[in-house]
Amino acid sequence: MRLDGKIALITGAARGQGKAAARAFVAEGAKVVIADILDDEGKQLAADLGEQAVYQHLDVGDEDGWTAAVERATTEFGHPNVLVNNAGILHFSELAQTTLADYERVIRVNQIGAFLGMRSVVEPMTAAGGGSIVNVSSVEGLAGMPYLVAYTASKFAIRGMTKVAAMELGKKHIRVNSVHPGAIDTKMVETAAGGQKVDMSYVGKKVALKRVGQPEDIAKLVLFLASDESAYCTGAEFVADGGATATHALNF
């Protein structure tokens, strides 16, 4: 079991990439706290996964919520030694039309949520003898994308915070890495588009592998970083984008 003895807290775990990660973690022996604001979906997933998983309501932008989530993990299973900062939201808008409220909303979930998550687990992970923090950024944390000024800013911030945390926490045997997914078939784009169905097939045609990624594609990478197989990896960027960042704008 690749994650035997691991106690993980995964945010945004009720659906999409987080849900796929929770399933993969439990299958490999981890005990998992499924953290999200989607209570019904989160509770159902925990029930499906059995005694190795519990659900905890968590707004990642709330300090007190993080305190409660870490306490829940410790009470249920022991000191967490894996954190996956997966929760995120998307907002489409031209720079000139982006309101401060919308910008701050994205920053609060994506950037501040990751900051609070990392800060919250330093003490319990140190007590556990070390651990692994996996911060989910994006290909928009590597290069810009029109109409995504807030999202891109937040994902670049996660990339930078990851490196700072890796430098500070290495002496505590805590590894910190960032994951950079490309276009993945989840409901995040649909939610940002106001709930309307979005055809992602055209995106798949633009990348080298000629398909849109699936949540399981990212879950497998996250699992590797959570496991001891990645014991010498920290402060690094791991890209899973079907080849999107292998080229540039002049590619026809």
Catalytic residues: 151
Q: Within 13 Å, how many C-alpha atoms sit on residue 208's CB side? A: 11
Look at residue 14 and give its three-state secondary structure. coil
Q: Which helix (H) or strand (E) holds 40?
A: helix 39-49
Cβ–Cβ < 8 Å for 80, 54: no
Q: Within 13 Å, how many C-alpha atoms sit on residue 51's CB side? A: 0
Only one residue has tokens 């080298």, namely: 208
Residue 87, both tokens? 């929760």
Burial environment of residue 79 by CB neighbours within 10 A (0 to 12, 13 to 18, 19 or more): middle
Region of residue 98 (phi > 0: left; psi between -120 and 50: alpha; otherwise: beta): beta
Which residues, in sequence order, are CB contacts of 245 under 8 Å at separation 6+? 139, 142, 143, 180, 182, 239
